[in-house]
Amino acid sequence: MKFDKKAQSLGGLYGGILVIASIGILLALVLYILSSMGTSFQIKNTAGSVTNESGAYINGSGYTLELAGADDFANPVITLIHNATNGVIITSGNYTVSSVGVLINATATNWASVNVSYTYTYSADTSSSEATGTLVTQFVAFLPWLGIILLVLAAGVVLFFIIRSFANRGQGV
């Protein structure tokens, strides 16, 4: 019985891992640059307004205005608040609004259902910022598949070394 005792070299594996890591770092940099470009393409300090936002309330815990999640939302100014059930206008001494768009009562009176009208500024999207945002979003949606592809490649490398180690063995009786 004769065995070939050649050691399996893993030197090539190091280069492959280095290439995969380099590609990952490069992709992360590209995504960061695209995100930054998309933000820079937006039109800053765009004026916006909302008339009769329904479902709002005024109490001590606060109600966040619906558009407070807009990019760079700032400078909310309440133009009108009225009771949604009977139309009674609520005066400005009865509420405050924070710079992030949280409406809180300034008195002991709570209103369960009000309509709010307000103005604000935000960063408006352009076709360029939407295109870069879509590109980033679609690539992030592809990331789980990238993990599966890398797992299959890693399994292929392991199988290659296992099969290669058994293929070189001598035939014994």
Residue ranges of the alpha helices (H) in 5-51? 11-40
pTM exceeding 0.85: no
Provide the pLDDT for residue 118.
95
- How far is residue 36's CA from residue 34's CA, in Å, rounded to a whole number? 5
Q: Tens-of-pLDDT digits for all 173 residues of the chain? A: 555 555 555 666 677 778 878 888 998 899 999 999 998 999 999 999 999 999 899 888 899 999 998 999 999 999 999 998 888 999 888 899 999 999 998 887 788 899 999 999 999 999 999 999 999 999 889 888 888 888 888 788 788 878 877 776 655 55
Provide the pLDDT for residue 11.
62
- How far is residue 4's CA from residue 10's CA, in Å, rounded to a whole number? 18
Provide the pLDDT for residue 169.
65
Domain residue ranges in the chain: 16-40+127-165, 43-124
- How far is residue 58's CA from residue 144's CA, in Å, rounded to a whole number? 43
Provide the pLDDT for residue 93.
86
**Is the CB of residue 76 less than 8 Å from the CB of residue 101?**
yes
Place of tokens 């380099």: 22
